[in-house]
Amino acid sequence: MNKKVDGVSSGEPRDNALAYLQYLKSIGIEYVEPAQTPDNAATNELASLAGEVAECKSCTLHKTRIQTVFGTGSPRAGIMFVGEAPGADEDKQGEPFVGRAGKLLTKMIQAIGFEREEVYIANVLKCRPPQNRDPRPEEVAACEHFLVRQIQLIQPLVICALGAHAAKTLLKTDDTIGKLRGRFFDYHGVPLIPTYHPAFLLRSQQSKKAAWEDLQKLRDKYHELNG
C-alpha cells in the first residue's frame, strides 16, 4: 500500500522522484544541487583543470598548437597510461593517441581486457612540439604539474609510462627505457610500470614481445589491487 509523506506518494521510484520535485516546486524550491559524490567531484575538477590547460601559455608551445590535448577516459580509471606529447593528429582532434600509435595503443589496451573508455590516457605535454620533436626540459617543467594533478584526481591503481619521456619525467631518472621497462616503480604510492612507446613498437616489431610481457604485468597488478 502507498503511504503519503508530505504530499509524496511512495510508489515507483521514478514517480516518487517526480512527485517530490513537484512538491519542492510547489513550496518555491526551483533548483536542487546534484549530490557531490567523489566521482562527480573528480569529473568536475578534471573539467576545470582542462579549462586551465586550454588557457595555458606557460611555454612557447602555445604559439604553434591548434589546441591543447588534455586527456581522455574514465575519471575513475584503475589504469592510467601516460605518453609523451600530442602529435599532428592529436593536435587536430584534441584527444591523445588517436593517430597510428594511438590505434596500436587501443589494441594494446584491448589485449589486456579493457576498452579505451575504461582507462585514462594522458601525456606529459599537453601541446604538440613542432615537427614532433622531443619535449624540452623547460616545456616539461612548465607542464608537469597538470599531469601530477590529473593523477591525483584520477587516483589510478596502476600507471603505465609509455616510452622514455614519460618514464623519465615521472620517475626522475635518466635511465634508458630498455633498462626501466618491465619493472614496477613506486610513484608516490602508486605502482608504475614503464614500457615501450607504441610509436617505437610500430618501428620495432621485435620489441612487441617485451611490451606484451609488460602489459600482462600491468593487467595482473591491476587485478591484484582491484581485488
User: Which residues in this chain contact ligand URA in the complex, by CB under 6 A?
Assistant: 83-87, 90, 96-97, 101-102, 123, 199
Cβ proximity to ligand URA, 8 vs 70, nearer residue: 70
End-to-end CA distance of the chain: 42
Work out how close the CB of 200 gets to ligand URA at its nearest, in angstroms, rounded to a whole number: 10
CB of 204 to ligand URA, least distance (A): 15
Beta carbon nearer to ligand URA, 16 or 106: 106
For residues 136 and 165, the answer to whether their CB atoms sit within 8 Å is no
Nearer to ligand URA, 69 or 112 (CB): 69
How many whole angstroms separate alpha carbon 38 and alpha carbon 13? 24
Query: For residue 17, what is its C-alpha cell?
Result: 522522484
* DSSP element (H, E) containing 162: strand 158-162
Q: By Cβ distance, which residue is nearest to ligand URA?
A: 83
Rounded distance between C-alpha atoms, residue 106 and residue 23, angstroms: 48
Minimum distance, C-beta of residue 105 to ligand URA, in the bound complex (Å): 8
Do the Cβ atoms of 159 and 193 come closer than 8 Å?
A: yes
Nearer to ligand URA, 74 or 169 (CB): 169
